[in-house]
Amino acid sequence: MNLKNITYKQVIFYISLAVLLIGSLLFVNNNYSFYDRPIAKVMEAHLEESNDVVDAYGNEDRLFTQSIEAEVKNGAEKNRSIHLINEYSASGAFDQAYKEGDELFVWIDADTGKGGELTGTIQDVKRDKHILPIVWIFIFILLLIGKRQGFFSIISLILNAAILSYALDIYVENSNIGLLIICGVTVVLFTITSLLLINGFNEKTYAAIIATLLGTFISFFITYAVLWLTGESGLRYEEIDFLSRPYKPVLLAGLLIGSLGAVMDVAITMSSSVFEMYENNHAIDNKTLKKSGLHIGKDIMGTMTNILFFAYISGSIPMLLLFLKNASLWGFTLSLNLSLELARALAGGIGIVLAIPIGLYISIFFVNRKRGRV
């Protein structure tokens, strides 16, 4: 890189990034006093015993018992040592071995007298100091490779997460407003902010915004009509984890938001290419625009639907394995764990395909308006 090309603004930007990086890393590694829950740092871990187990279905695993000497890092018992017992399995479906340096949230059970050793139970792992470096790797890779566009992707992620969180806060506090209405409004906000961030203020973006909203809502109503007409047969709601609310609005609102990104991507691809063709050749007629636009749409529909498909289905893999290893039948396992994910993927696919003609015609409409003005 040519050093002369670096502007004053960029220097400020990178310095503040470096300060943030170092500051946040220092913070997560020393933030014990901010937690109410006692934290203990593992100083020594010894394997006490291990034995093989075979469950009712013939699955072989190995169980281990660790005895751990740790040091309390916060609260009233700070700096005292604590004795912990950890039982874990080789497969680690919900447990794991601990080693020197790991930090754990613990319950302090008993005090064996003055200066003596505390005993406690392990509650959870302190993960913040491990997730933060990954956040920074993400930021640096996106900035390094994507430069300005990478920066906007990060901003768009943060902004959209904030909008979603705020919208859910409104819903939790006023449950009389339906989740669907709130998410519908959120979808409009998401579309406008993301497309403006990616593409800036211009007619290409306006065409893409209208096409995205039409595509998303039409595909949503198609899915809604299908659910209503079929009486939701074949959908299994038992396996939605973390359900604190009626399941149906949660599923529908998830459908609405989930397909939005893909529909946006298709809409922006369609409008960019239609406008690009027009800019290159102002005399181009609508028929050619239609034909070439449709050609581009055909090229992207397959890969786009596959993106959604994998994003939705993959999360079920551990659960599928658990069911099947516990001698559940394949048909039962698949319908119970995948029906909602497949419905989401199919609904998203419908949105993607619909966005192709919608995006195409709206962009052509905008191009013609521009032509009229010239």
Nearer to other proteins, 37 or 371 (CB): 37
Nearest CA-CA partner of 272 in 223, 176, 208, 184:
208
184 interacts with other proteins by CB under 8 A? no
Contact 282, 212 (CB under 8 A): no
254 interacts with other proteins by CB under 8 A? yes
Neighbours of 193 (CB within 10 A): 15
Read off the tokens for 56.
């009712």
**DSSP string computed for 287-312:** HHHHHHHHHHHHHHHHHHHHHHHHHH
Near other proteins by CB under 8 A, which window of 18-26, 67-75, 136-144, 284-292? 136-144
Closest approach of other proteins to the CB of residue 2, in Å: 14
364 interacts with other proteins by CB under 8 A? no
Single-letter amino acid code for the residue at 142:
L
Near other proteins by CB under 8 A, which window of 7-15, 16-24, 348-356, 365-373? 348-356
1 interacts with other proteins by CB under 8 A? no
Near other proteins by CB under 8 A, which window of 1-9, 16-24, 65-73, 93-101? 93-101
14 interacts with other proteins by CB under 8 A? no
Phi/psi for 113 (5° steps) reads: 105, 170
Among 70, 209, 260, 367, binds other proteins (CB under 8 A): 260
Contact 31, 24 (CB under 8 A): no
Residues 276-305 that bind other proteins (CB under 8 A): 294, 297-299, 301-305
82 interacts with other proteins by CB under 8 A? no
152 interacts with other proteins by CB under 8 A? yes
Contact 365, 275 (CB under 8 A): no
Near other proteins by CB under 8 A, which window of 13-21, 77-85, 126-134, 363-371? 126-134
Near other proteins by CB under 8 A, which window of 10-18, 69-77, 111-119, 310-318? 310-318
In sequence order, which residues have a C-beta less than 8 Å from that of residue 26 and are 6 or more positions away?
none
Read off the tokens for 37.
């829950």
146 interacts with other proteins by CB under 8 A? yes
258 interacts with other proteins by CB under 8 A? yes
The helix/strand/coil state of 333 is helix
Closest approach of other proteins to the CB of residue 68, in Å: 15
CA distance 313 to 336: 13
CA distance 118 to 81: 6
370 interacts with other proteins by CB under 8 A? no
Q: Which residues pair with 86 in a beta bridge?
A: 66
Residues 156-175 that bind other proteins (CB under 8 A): 156-157, 160-161, 164-165, 168-169, 171-172
Nearer to other proteins, 118 or 336 (CB): 336
Residues 21-80 that bind other proteins (CB under 8 A): 34-37, 53, 55-57, 59-61, 63
CA 234, 213, 241, 103: dihedral to nearest 10 degrees? 150
Contact 292, 273 (CB under 8 A): yes
Nearer to other proteins, 48 or 60 (CB): 60
Nearer to other proteins, 26 or 110 (CB): 26
Helix axes 203-230, 330-373, angle to 10 degrees: 140
221 interacts with other proteins by CB under 8 A? no
